[in-house]
Every structure is written in C-alpha cells, then in structure tokens.
Amino acid sequence: MGRTKCFQREEVLEKLVPVFWKKGFADTSLHDIESATGVNKSGLYSEFKNKEDLYLESLRFYLETNTIVETLRVEPLGWKNIENYLKFGSTFAELKGCFVVNAIREISILPKNTKNLIIEYSKKSKDLLIQNLESERVFNPEKVAEMISSFNSGISIELNLDESADPTEKIHLFLEYLKNFKIKSR
C-alpha cells in the first residue's frame, strides 16, 4: 500500500508558477522546487514525471487561471481591450515581465509539448488581437497584431531589466501611433 499524498496538485502548481516565472526552466533547481512547495522530491515525482512535467503543468496552470487573454474578449471589442491586454503584463513587474515571454526565451531547451502549448497560446492571443483590430476596421489586422505581440514581448523583457519600470506611457504612445497610422495599400 502506497503512502497517502499530502498535497493538492493545484496548490503545488500555484506555488511553482512564480518560481519558474522568475528563474526560468533552466535556472530552477530541485531545491528551489522543494522549498517553494514544501513537498520533497519523491512526493513531487509521485504526481509529476520530472522537472519538465512540473514546468509544463505550471505553465498550463498559469494559462488556465490567468485572465490576460480574457481582457481581449470583453465586449465591445476594440482598442480598450488591447490597451488593457498590454497593461495587464506590467502588473506583474515583481515577477519579471510575462511568464510566457520568459518561457519563449528558453524555447530551444523546452520539451516539445511545452513548445506546443506556448505556440497554441500565442496563436490564440494573436487571433483575439485580430478580432479586436477588425472591430476597429484596422487595415491589415494580422500584421498589426504581430506588431502588438512583438511590442508586448519587448515590454515584458524590459521588465526583466528594471522591475520598477512603468511601461504605461510607452503603451499609451504605441497605441496612439497605431490608431493614427494609416498603412498605404499598394
């Protein structure tokens, strides 16, 4: 008869998200994981296969429980949603930018199923950005959505450099530029 599990899966994942978010996959040690969760290696590995599985499930938990993408679904669709989406990431400055952007920086060392999860999430975010841009009748919303995604990643990376940075003014200026910029059709 096996030992009774003394922890809840969701509680472990909730405690691991900030650890992986701050330190990344490569720099998070088993000691970091045990310290954050209060669960020893054998307990963790009775529920999770390995560190890769802990990371994947932490990222999945984060994506399922955070509301950043939901900001792009608020009716009416449009610029306000995009602004809220961009500002949302800066609310986590103490965690160094965005968990997903930080994960993308390590994409070459992440397991395939983790890469696929990131790709799927990024596609969903871009699709929602496109819907918001289409509601504003923006020319070439696919390209503008790519620009917004790149800008969002840049802001997140900057927060890794300076946790006290407030990107609100940059976000405002970027959006004003996009709203006023007319792309000439050929």
Q: Determine the pLDDT at residue 182.
A: 59
Q: Which helix (H) or strand (E) holds 151?
A: helix 141-161
User: How far apart (Å, rounded) are the C-alpha atoms in residues 28 and 33?
Assistant: 7
When pLDDT is cut at 50, 70 and 90, the band that residue 184 belongs to is: very low
Q: What crossing angle do the helices spanning 79-90 and 141-161 adopt, rounded to 10°?
A: 20
What are the tens digits of pLDDT across the range 34-64? 999 999 999 999 999 999 999 999 999 999 9
What are the tens digits of pLDDT across the range 72-104? 999 999 999 999 999 886 666 566 778 999 899
Tell me the whole-structure pTM to 2 decimals.
0.86
60: amino acid identity, one letter = R
Nearest to 47 by CA among 9, 6, 4: 9
User: How far apart (Å, rounded) are the C-alpha atoms in residues 172 and 22?
Assistant: 26
What are the tens digits of pLDDT across the range 102-129? 899 999 999 999 999 999 999 999 999 9
Give the other-Cβ count within 10 Å of 112's Cβ: 7
CATH superfamily of 9-62: Homeodomain-like (1.10.10.60)
